[in-house]
Amino acid sequence: MSAVVTEARRWIGTPYVHQAARKGAGCDCLGLLRGVWSAVTDDALIAVPPYTADWSEPQGDERLWRGMAALLDRKDKADAAPGDVLLFRMQSGAVAKHVGLQAETGLRPTFIHAYQGHGVVENALTAPWQRRVVARFSVPVPQQQKV
């Protein structure tokens, strides 16, 4: 089992709270990624500037995509592995600004994400979700993974 998936599953049930990154108390999709990364790598929580619900949309700026590409290793979208970070474009033509973590692969793929109105959940990575994936990244985890 991937250390990333194990840690992400510990966050399931955490309420959705915009800009937060605290297991059990609240997080958004980026906060989930930041919190899981911090727990798995033993690094401090990555700081991000404040952002609004519509950030990057008026400018059409792929800020999240650039930030993730600077920190994570880009993968082919078809090369799925547990623990991968998925970047989603929620509407055609909109900027990519939703993040999830691949949990299961194969015939019944799943992903874990923080979703407004639902909190942190593990969902089936169904065809409609798969169509929204615009990038896949792997988390560079140190040799001695924290589990």
pLDDT recorded at residue 58: 67
pLDDT recorded at residue 141: 63
pLDDT recorded at residue 48: 84
pLDDT recorded at residue 143: 52
Q: Is the pLDDT of residue 74 over 70?
A: yes
| Alpha carbons 37 and 42: distance in angstroms, whole number | 8
Q: Is the pLDDT of residue 145 over 90?
A: no
- The sign of the CA dihedral 101, 102, 104, 109 is positive
Ordered alpha helix ranges (H), the chain: 3-10, 29-41, 63-71, 127-132
pTM, whole model, 2 decimals?
Answer: 0.90
Domains contained in the chain, CATH given: 3-138 (3.90.1720.10)
Residue range 98-119: mean pLDDT, rounded: 96
Could you give the angle at which helices 3-10 and 29-41 cross, rounded to 10 degrees? 130
Residue range 97-104: mean pLDDT, rounded: 96
The pLDDT tens digits of the residues spanning 113-136 come to 999 999 999 999 999 999 999 999
The pLDDT tens digits of the residues spanning 45-68 come to 888 877 777 766 667 788 889 889
